[in-house]
Structure 1
Amino acid sequence: MRFPLPVRAHAGTLAVLVALTAVACLLVAGLPRATQASFDEALRRALTTAPAVQTDLTVASEPVEDLRERAQFESLYRHWQHSVPAALRPLITPDGHMSAKTSRTPVTGTGGGTYINLGWLSDADRRVDWVQGRMPGPTSTTRHEGETIPLIEVGVVDEAVREMGLGVGQIKMLGESDYVAVKIVGIFKAKNPGDRYWSHDLDILHVSKQRPPGGMDEELHLTTLMSDAGLTALSGAARHLTYRWVLPLDGRAASALDVPDLDAAVAELGRLVKVQEVSNNPHRLDTGLPKLLDDFSAALAAAQTVLYLALGGLLTVALGVIVLGVRLLTDRMEHTFALARARGGSLRQVAGAGAAMTALAVAPAALAGYALSFLVPGPVLAVVHVGPAVVVVTAVAFAAVRVSVAHRTPLHERRDDVADARPSVRRVTLEVLVVGLALVGAYLLRARGLSQDPLLLFVPVALTLAAALITLRCYPYPLRLLVRLAARGRAAVPFLGLTRAARARSASGLPVLVLLPALAVSVFATMISNEIASTQVRASWQQVGAPIKVTSVGEIPASVIEKVRATDGVEQVVMAQTGQVQLADAPEYAAAIAVDVAQWRRLIAGTPISVPPLSGGTSALVSPALKGRGAFEIGWLSRPRVTPQGVIDSVPGFWSSGKFLVMPMTVLPRPQANTLLIKGDVSRAELARLVPAATVDSQKRALAAIREDPLTGIVRSTLVVVTVALGLYALVAVVLSLLVGAAERARAVSFLRTLGLSDRQARRLTVLEVLPMVLVTALVGLGLGLGLPIALGPGVDLSAYAGDLQVSGYSPDLVMAGVLAGGLAVAAALGAYAHTALGRHRDLGAVLRVGDQS
């Protein structure tokens, strides 16, 4: 067959097929790259924003055999570097470091109230500046209680000068039996205290205050810095001593695809560290990387579940629309193929010609869409190559099969409008099997969840296919009831239009198989996106507890509070005092907040959060962990006795678990506040200026932080893209379904026009023929889309994208459903009117064959 003439004759149809194929291949190849790029960015952000002590690989040892020299530490560090599995090596940076520290080393004579630990950092010279005195030097000796003991020169952080009264020149005796003396020779400050590096050594940068279990008084803990020479005086036999070799991890090169390998590599390194005999000391691997990877994998799995469902539905619909376009092309070439068969062409030649015509359109278009997908940033996955190939193979294979089935015998005439097609027993059995499997899968999905069986991910696809098959089989039956009612009337148009709509013609199947998943997946994507958005808002309020919250370590002076009240834009200020309180006389503590609950309730009125009412006096709201205790005393500035009035699961902006209670401000002996809850339009910078020592947080900032997460962003943006694309595909499917049956419809209308059918009646007839299929399919698709979130709800946890709040209670988006259904109905009606208008001036002799008008 010569192609130039058919190409010119069917240029419009080929152009539609080219456009559909190019867009489909761009979406199929581009969206996975964009989603994977966001997955990678999410992992990199998780690794680079987490404390280094959590992500780095730290080999630790409580020594039996002491290491006395720096060279011994460096030799072991090189060994651990070489032991890192291959999957982790690209992420390990060369600037590792080592340390040796004692813990809980008491200052002699303090009764365990003060602890000064000895510490050595291999890279201290690069990390600190000495602001007073000098760097520690060699170790010497001194006399104590008639014995010669080591005297170690150390430096302390400048914070210790304020908090513990330490200074240059002081000598402190450490230990209760095995003594050692330290001489403070310098005061240092960190060069970059915000560096992630310091998360390994916060005990060196800060004085910590700890309350021991059952104790009433706080302990002071500090770790000093000493020189390399101080290692000779450290012994694990006399102190609680720990050696550490830190292998820093740079997450900027990580990929989400490598997470399983990274997890396995960390486990392998942990095993090697335990079993390798590099010294007489036992070693272990300390890292929070497995937990971080597991948390990321859980969030990633939920994102992939939603996105794979959406992208799978998009691919299915795109293939269906392309198949509709191929069906239109082969129908337009029906007479050409029939003539070729009548002139002796073999079935292989005719089918090959149809496949070649289709390939001529879809292959270059697929290549163009595939090439355009490389403009989308992201890694090149296998689906980027496979997706466009699937589109081309599906289109060409359908064309070959369609032409082969239609032209098995030369000049085989068919009249699909005369009698209903009766499906074979084999086909009915297969359809019943698909419906049964879909229902069983839906039950298992709700009962077990996706975590138990990933194959259940195909359940929504099976449900969509089952709903489409049921619709195909059942939608003619209610129309036949309408036909019987219309037959009793005098008007012929309703009877004829509904009769043609009720006939199970082969051309009606494809539009249903395209429209139904398009509507179902688009409604599903919209509901998921909307529910995530609303839960994000609720989570942001839950995190802050007010439009703006100002939290100070110490008491906020009354004069400062008045300045805040007088600031432009501030509408309401509620004072609150938070702290740890002792419960009764037992060594048990709980978090507490004293606040005017009535004012707080007025401040958050109309927001997604609420606080139960609380009467005055000494009533309190307690957490579930404190439920059923009756009245009890608390130790907080005084010893008031509070009576639980109710149970509250969480306190917005403060606590959501553990032991806590909410009480009136009048419980305190004097009104004071370390927290301000503010309503109004005022900048965080202005409040930070008014309360310099405080942390200012806002609901808007919390919401922005939740939405800026890469995983959250890609889930919502992909759902929006899929929704828009599916809506457009649904409209294209309606138009193509009109075009596919255009020839048959024009022929029927032409027959009726010879009997006196007017143009107005022809338009009504066409609308009544087309609209029922669209409306029935739209209703089923919308119903399935509204039910998919409910079916998937127990199996998919989306809390990672909503501020760790559970996404549940999916409310039907009737507005979106109405817009989609209405849009398709309008498109079908307008298409029917346009089709009738275009065929109004057609010559009947050009439509009807010789003898049809007799």
Structure 2
Amino acid sequence: MPRKPARAVAPWVRTRLRTAPGAALAYGLLVLVTAFLAAALPRAVDTYETEGLWHAVDSAEPRRTALSLTTRVEAHLGPAAQAAQLTPQRLRATRDRLVPLLPPPLRTDPANSAYGVHTTKRTPGLDPWLPQPDGLPPELVLDAPSDLAAHSTLTAGRLPGAGPGGAMEAAVTARTAEALRLKVGSVVHVPGTDGTPEPITVTGIVEPRETANGYWGVDPLLHTPLFSAKGTSEIKWYWTASLLVAPESAPGLLTTLGEPEQYWRFAPDVGHLTAQDSDRLAAALDSADSGPGRVKLRQVLGDNGGFTTGLDEIVTDYAGMRDAIAAVVAVAAFGIGAVAAVVIVMTAGLFTARRHAELALLRSRGASLTGIGGRLLGETGAVAVPAAVLGLLLALPVAGAGARFWPACAAAAAVALLAWLVLPLRAVVLHRRPRLHGGREDVVSARPSTGRTVAELTFLVLAVGAVTALRRRGTADSGDHLVSAAPVLVGLIAAFVLVRLYPLPLRWAARPARRMRGAVGPLALARAGRSSSTGALPLLALLVALTTAAFGGSVLTGISEARDRAALLATGADARVHQELEMTPLPAGVAETVRRFPGVGEVAPVQIEFGLELPDHQGTVDNGMGAPLIGVEPASYARLAARTGFGPFPAGLLGSTGTGGPAHTGDNTRVLPVIASPRVAERLGRAPIEITAAAGRFHVKVVAVRAATPALPDKDFLLVNGADLTNRAPTALLVSERAPGALDGPALRAAVTAKAGGLRVALSKEQRAGYVDSPMQTGAERIYLTALGAGAGYAVLALMLSLLQAAPERTTLLARLRTMGLTRRQARRLLGLEALPQALLAAVGGALVGWATILLLSPGVDLARLALGGAPDEAMELGAALRADVWSLGLPAVAVVLLASGAALVQAWWASRRGSIRELRAGDAR
């Protein structure tokens, strides 16, 4: 009877995993964490970019986001046909035809959308009982919006409808009724097309609901009247308001002089959009504005049809911020990715080194590379693939709306592929030829191969190209991954250079060390020189981690400083006290109240007059340029300018002429020294020139030019000694706190408002907090902080792996030396001194490389969008550059030295607890 072949006792993979479960578990945990971070990153980016798009649209004014379509009544039609076009049924039918024509992904929010008819030309109210502040009648806009009842609350009377005989009826809001003294039953007359007044009866007073939404917010005049002014030489004030005409009365607008227009205002709905839809949305808006979409819209609206929206500008601004932030975040992603990859390679190298004898024995007994590689693939695949899949699954719930699955899946797959292949490939390369023992691989004796030299030169060229490109064109192209990898490439080149230069100081120090008393110092130095040349990997990991940490710290420092400066520019000081209308003089006694308030260091009073018309030194007739006139107290204001850094100047430049006050009202021959902005200085010239202002009439001579000043963030200004003004009346107080955090802003606001109810207190701290309101800003900062933390963790792990790889050999060495009389204290000193050269190399090299990276890349990196978001242009022009942070440069470097020394001491302590006989009987470890 044939004999059955003997079955294997156990499969190879199962046997190996059972043999070393701890190593398999540790490797699987490393792959799981790495895959989780790799998969969570693109999902987190998608989430904050999507939320940023929603925020950009939701936070904008409805007048900018609304999609407004308009058309005029066709003039060639008869009166009956024209009136038929303005009926609610006709307008509703047109709306239903327009909505499907809006190109996708555009969607509308019906609840906040409206349609109707309004007059494009304001018509005066003819009734003499209407308020006329300066003898001017109020100007009225007649608007017949749809669905008024759903967006307002009736407080008096009834909603308007079709009046008897076609008479027009209207409702007004409570604010309009109060301003124009209207009540239920009032009849307002407006000019008619036939010369006779057209009556409009007020049937009800309503209170608007949610005036910030698209229904009311597109035209604020619908719910709030305006007190307007007209005239140049003599300003006269009058009221402007809206009457909410019933939709059934809309045809009656044709009989007025208001030139009625049909409108359809669609509030956009972006809740279904993701960050990836922004380009499609921009294309759709372009199509509706001046492309095929507009042709389709005009087929419904007619030749007079128009389409206007500010949503395209919002989407463009969003895309610019997204790309700018993505380029900065990509730097952190490349840094942490490079460190994680090196750590995985180091882990595989540790496992390969531990199994060197086993694999060498297999090769010496005829095992093929294919067989060894296949078995190792099975081992690592059984650990890496499930761990990567679990990491991917754990990353899915982390992100929110708009997060895509496939980028996360691709990132986790890349981690799994690297973790799966690196150990088999490394083992196959090392065991190409059968061998039991290899030669020495000391950093002193090792000679780099030609292939390594070519690879290093290739990376050097890439690094130089990346740095040059980043300095020349910045981070404008978020898809340029070579630019984003510039810090990593710089760290890589530095690692190559340091590994090549590392043997030189060891050789120089070895000779004088031989003359030292005792054997610990020379032996430690010799041991450091005999460390494996594969130490380039931990050095690379540490350098990239330290470089990324330094770059990230400089990014966060630059952001913080930019926000501080922008907030300080907006307020002028730590606090600013002014009237609601900034040109209004401050009440008497306010300055003394503020000066005596606890925590106040100094108060600089300023007098600001806006809209000052500037003459031209060339004598041309041009009144188109104006600038604020700022009267200051030179001593306190000069100190404030020096503290803030905005246009510092010596107080003596604005020395008083002694010609201020009412006594010199008619003296226009005075020449006052002034400090001007560049454009103002260019316009005024160098010679004295006459200025006429509410503060007085005098000549000015520009004595200095400054680009900025604390009193105002405006680009143009004229700074003068306030004591020389004819009409001296401070309008604002710039308050500096005695020490950082000494001023209680809310308490100061309460004290000031108790002194005078119309005063306002602006705090730079509150202004600074307002610059961090976009989900893209906060999301990007969180990712950066997470990347820095993960990079630090991987760097520590790389350091531990480098120590673990040499741990068996060091333990055996200590055991041998202990038999020769080495004490425990000397053993700790030996291992500590042995680890010190490489730790110092990584720490000092990392700090220098990080500083050099910031110095090289700072001209090409502008953090303004990440730091300031939608801040005013004046703040954005300040920019936000990289700033070298001492803590991010020095703290990680010191931590590397301490960790390396501490780990070596712990290893020496642990080895000293084990008996030397037991360690020496374990075998001869080379």
TM range (shorter): 0.7 to 0.9
Question: How many angstroms does 1:31 deviate by?
Answer: 3.9
Q: In the alignment, what sits opposite 1:74?
A: 92
Aligned to 1:382: 406
Shift of 1:129: 4.9
Query: Runs of 5+ in structure 2 lacking a partner?
Result: 1-10, 76-81, 127-133, 616-622, 661-671, 738-742
> Could you tell me which residue of structure 1 aligns to residue 466 of structure 2?
441
**Cα distance in 1 for residues equivalent to 2:266 and 2:694:** 45
Paired residue secondary structure (2:268): coil
Where 2:485 maps in the other structure, the secondary structure is: helix
Matched-pair contact (CA < 8 Å) for 2:118–2:260: yes
User: Number of matched residues?
Assistant: 842
Residue 302 of structure 2: SS of its match in structure 1?
Answer: coil
In structure 2, C-alpha distance between the alignment counterparts of 1:783 and 1:136, rounded to whole Å: 77
Q: CA deviation at 1:528?
A: 1.0
Who is 2:707 aligned against? 649
1:323 correspondence with 2:345:
yes
1:86 is paired with a residue of what secondary structure?
coil
| Residue 207 of structure 1: how far off its partner (Å) | 3.5
Q: Is the 8 A contact 2:677 2:718 kept in 1?
A: yes
Whole-Å Cα distance in 2 between the matches of residues 442 and 622 of structure 1?
A: 39
Which shifted more, 798-807 or 642-651? 642-651
Distance 1:695 1:38, change over 3 A: farther
| Shift of residue 693, structure 1, vs aligned partner | 4.6
Question: What CA deviation, in whole Å up to 9, does each residue of 1:20-43 have, x standing for no partner?
Answer: 223222322234433433333332
One-letter identity of the residue aligned with 1:376: V
* 8 Å contact from structure 1 (residues 552, 694) kept in 2: yes
Q: Measured at CA, do residues 674 and 751 of structure 1 come closer, stay the same or move farther in structure 2, by a change above 3 Å?
A: closer
Describe the superposition over 1:643-699 as per-residue Cα deviations: whole angstroms up to 9, x where unpaired.
Answer: 555444344464333566666277363636477868642444665566555554322
- Aligned pair 1:408/2:432, yes or no? yes
Note the C-alpha offset of 1:808.
Answer: 4.1
- 2:587 pairs with one of 551, 555, 558: 558
Q: Is residue 2:756 matched to residue 1:734?
A: no
Asked if the contact 2:176–2:223 (Cα under 8 Å) also holds between the matched residues in 1, the reply is: no
Change over 3 Å in CA distance of 1:597–1:717 after alignment to 2: farther
Kept after mapping to 1: 8 A contact 2:839/2:900: yes
CA distances 1:123-170 after superposition (whole Å, capped 9, x unpaired): 3333345656665555799xxxxxxxx975545555456656677645
1:202-213 alignment to 2 at 5 Å?
A: 202-208=220-226
Residue number in structure 2 paired with 1:144: none
Distance in 2, Cα, partners of 1:155 & 1:574: 50
Task: Report the 3-state secondary structure (helix = DSSP H, G, I; strand = E; otherwise coil) of the residue aligned with 2:202.
Answer: strand
Provide the residue aligned with 1:623 in structure 2: 677
Q: Please state if 1:846 is matched with 2:921.
A: yes
Shift of 1:776: 1.8
Q: Within 1, Cα distance between the matches of 2:72 and 2:493?
A: 63
Equivalences for residues 121-520 of structure 1 within 5 A: 121-129=145-153, 135-136=159-160, 138=162, 152-160=168-176, 169=186, 171-174=188-191, 181-183=198-200, 185=202, 188-192=205-209, 194-197=211-214, 198-208=216-226, 216-218=234-236, 220=238, 221-235=240-254, 239-270=258-289, 271-276=291-296, 277-378=299-400, 379-417=403-441, 420-451=445-476, 454-455=479-480, 456-486=483-513, 493-502=520-529, 505-520=532-547
More off after superposition, 526-535 vs 753-762: 753-762
Q: Name the aligned partner's letter for residue 822 of structure 1.
A: V
1:711 and 2:776 aligned: yes
Aligned to 2:663: none
Aligned sequence identity (%): 24
Deviations 1:441-465 (A, max 9, x none): 2112211223257323233333332
Maintained 8 Å contact 2:640/2:710? no
For residues 410-463 of structure 1, the C-alpha deviation after alignment (integer angstroms, 9 at most, x for no partner) is 334212247834333233123212201210221122112232573232333333
Q: Check whether the contact 1:442–1:459 (CA below 8 A) recurs between aligned residues.
A: yes
Corresponding residue for 1:107? 124
For residues 211 and 641 of structure 1, what CA distance do their matches in structure 2 show?
A: 30
Query: Given the superposition, is the C-alpha separation of residues 793 and 815 from structure 1 closer, same or farther in structure 2, using an over 3 Å criterion?
Result: closer
Cα separation, partners in 2 of 1:213 and 1:756, compared to 1, 3 Å: farther
Aligned to 2:619: none
Which residue is equivalent to 2:692?
A: 634
Change (3 A) 1:584 1:441: closer
Instruction: Give the deviation of 1:714 after TM superposition.
Output: 2.4
Query: Counterpart of 2:98 in structure 1: which amino acid?
Result: W
Paired residue type of 2:423? A
Work out the CA distance in 2 between the residues paired with 1:393 and 1:481.
Answer: 44
Distance 2:901 2:598 in 1: 54
SS for the counterpart of 2:359 is helix
Q: Per the alignment, in what secondary structure is the counterpart of residue 454 of structure 1?
A: coil
**Unpaired runs of 5+ in structure 1?**
142-149
SS of the residue corresponding to residue 771 of structure 2 reads: helix
Deviation larger for 242-251 or 285-294: 242-251
State the AA in 2 paired with 1:464: G
Amino acid corresponding to residue 247 of structure 2 in structure 1: D
SS in 2 for 1:97: strand
Task: Select which of 114, 117, 126 maps to 1:97.
Answer: 114
Q: 1:553 to 1:759 in 2, by over 3 A?
A: closer
Distance 1:453 1:815 in 2: 29
Aligned to 1:827: 899
1:54 aligned onto 2:64: yes
Distance 1:785 1:304, change over 3 A: same
Q: Matches of 1:566 and 1:493 in 2, distance apart?
A: 67
Q: Is the 8 A contact 1:448 1:795 kept in 2?
A: yes
Q: Distance in 2 between matches of 1:565 and 1:429?
A: 70
The worse-fitting range, judged by mean Cα deviation, of 311-320 and 448-457 is 448-457
Distance 1:5 1:106, change over 3 A: closer
- Supply the AA of the counterpart residue of 1:413: H
Q: Which residue identity lines up with residue 416 of structure 1 in the other structure? A: R
Q: Which amino acid aligns with 2:886?
A: L
Q: Output the TM-score relative to the length of structure 1.
A: 0.87
Change (3 A) 1:652 1:166: farther
Q: CA deviation at 1:329?
A: 1.7
**d(CA) in 2 for partners of 1:251, 1:694:** 39
Cα distance in structure 1, aligned partners of 2:702 and 2:808:
79
| Letter of the 1:509 counterpart | A
SS at 2:762 equivalent: strand
* 2:60 partner amino acid: A
